[in-house]
């Protein structure tokens, strides 16, 4: 498997945990900041197709909690538009491993990435 691409924010704790775990597991990866280095108009629809809005929209974020009910309704109708405009609403990290996309981080995330790397 070619290296992994980890999309996130530099100050995100989940992204830091993922990067540390990937380093410790010896899995090659690169980090890409979703605010500064990503063409979200291209990536967000791809991610939504891969994992769906329920997985990609971070409804636990401060940004989501501060949104009006009207804006939240718009997010349900047009998740791509809202995620493109508000990258902090993207649940992190988004990890691309070839054509596979995963969102969030847990011990099972590392296990599945390690298993994929072994194939």
Mark out the alpha helices in the chain (DSSP H runs).
Answer: 13-25, 40-51, 53-56, 62-65, 69-77, 79-85, 107-118
Q: Going residue by residue through the chain, which has 119 residues, state the pLDDT in tens, using 9 for 90 and above.
A: 457 999 999 999 999 999 999 999 999 999 999 999 999 999 999 999 999 999 999 999 999 999 999 989 988 899 999 999 999 999 999 999 888 899 999 878 888 887 776 66
The residue written with tokens 């909690």 in the block is 65
- The number of domains in the chain is 1
Q: Residue 1: what pLDDT?
A: 45
- Among residues 12, 50, 53, 85, which one is catalytic? 12
**Residue 55: C-alpha distances to residues 2, 38, 44, 89, 105 (Å):** 24, 19, 12, 11, 12
Q: Residue 110: what pLDDT?
A: 81
Give SS3 for 88: helix
Cα Rg of the chain (Å, integer): 14
Told to judge if 12 belongs to the known catalytic residues of this protein, a careful annotator would answer: yes
Q: Residue 106: what pLDDT?
A: 85
Domain housing 113 = 4-118
pTM assigned to the model: 0.90
Domain containing residue 61: CATH number: 3.40.30.10
Q: Residue 109: what pLDDT?
A: 84
């Amino acid at each position: 498997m070619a290296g992994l691409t980890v999309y996130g924010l530099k100050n995100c704790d989940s992204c830091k945990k993922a990067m540390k775990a990937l380093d410790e597991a010896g899995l090659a990866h690169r980090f890409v900041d979703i605010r500064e280095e990503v063409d979200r108009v291209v990536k967000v629809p791809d991610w939504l197709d891969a994992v769906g809005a329920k997985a990609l929209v971070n409804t636990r974020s401060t940004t989501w909690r501060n949104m009006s009910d009207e804006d939240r309704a718009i997010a349900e109708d047009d998740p791509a538009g809202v995620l493109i405009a508000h990258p902090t609403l993207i649940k992190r990290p988004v990890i691309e491993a070839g054509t596979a996309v995963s969102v969030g981080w847990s011990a099972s995330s590392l296990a599945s990435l390690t298993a994929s790397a072994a194939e």
